[in-house]
Amino acid sequence: MKTRTAGIAIAVVLVGVGIWAYYLSGPEEQPGQIQASEIKWYGFEDGTALARKENKKILVDVYTDWCVWCKKLDKEVYTNAAVGQHMSAHFIAVKLNAESQKSITFEGTSMSEASLASSMGVTGYPTIIFLDPESKPITRISGYMEPKEFTSVLRYVGEDQYKSTSFDEFRKAAAE
């Protein structure tokens, strides 16, 4: 009986390790994918300074190290060619660790990355915050999105459609 229980426990551990390894592995090469490294990611201070200089909007990916959906976003969405194209054209990409105590300066105030995420209303992960070139908020979205839907959001914000139409109207027009 003890041998059978030990065998089951070992099998469960091996399956768990396999699933964990799958989520940590790099993206499989498929048509329409890019390497995540092709998107240039910046820290918050460098990214906001560059956005101001280049007059580009800022996409802030707020994540945690333990967040499975954040890893899935990195692996399956940021490697999508259409996502990469829209991000490069319209945004400076910034990563912000919502649990980091690393000190940054935002609008003349020194704070931790965790404090900044909290002050921006982040309560779940992943959260994507869109800022204008002057670091003023445009909108934020929480949770994981498939590449096609995420590309629509990037177009909506990146092409300034949010200034004149609702997202529902934008999606409806895009589907026609």
* Blockwise average pLDDT, block size 10, the chain, 176 residues: 50 38 41 60 96 97 97 96 94 97 93 96 96 96 95 95 89 78
pTM of this structure:
0.77
Question: Helix, strand, or coil here: 137?
Answer: strand
Please report where in the chains the tokens 């914000």 appear, as a residue: 157
Going from the C-alpha of 145 to that of each of 70, 83, 91, 94, 107, the distances in angstroms are: 10, 11, 18, 18, 30
In this predicted structure, what is the pLDDT of residue 169? 86
- Of 38, 36, 56, nearest to 48 by C-alpha is 56
Question: Both tokens of residue 169?
Answer: 């109207």
Going from the C-alpha of 124 to that of each of 4, 34, 75, 110, 118, the distances in angstroms are: 41, 27, 19, 23, 10
Please state, in angstroms and rounded to a whole number, the distance separating the CA atoms of residues 89 and 56: 9
In the DSSP assignment, the letter for residue 38 is: G
In this predicted structure, what is the pLDDT of residue 172? 80
In this predicted structure, what is the pLDDT of residue 14? 38
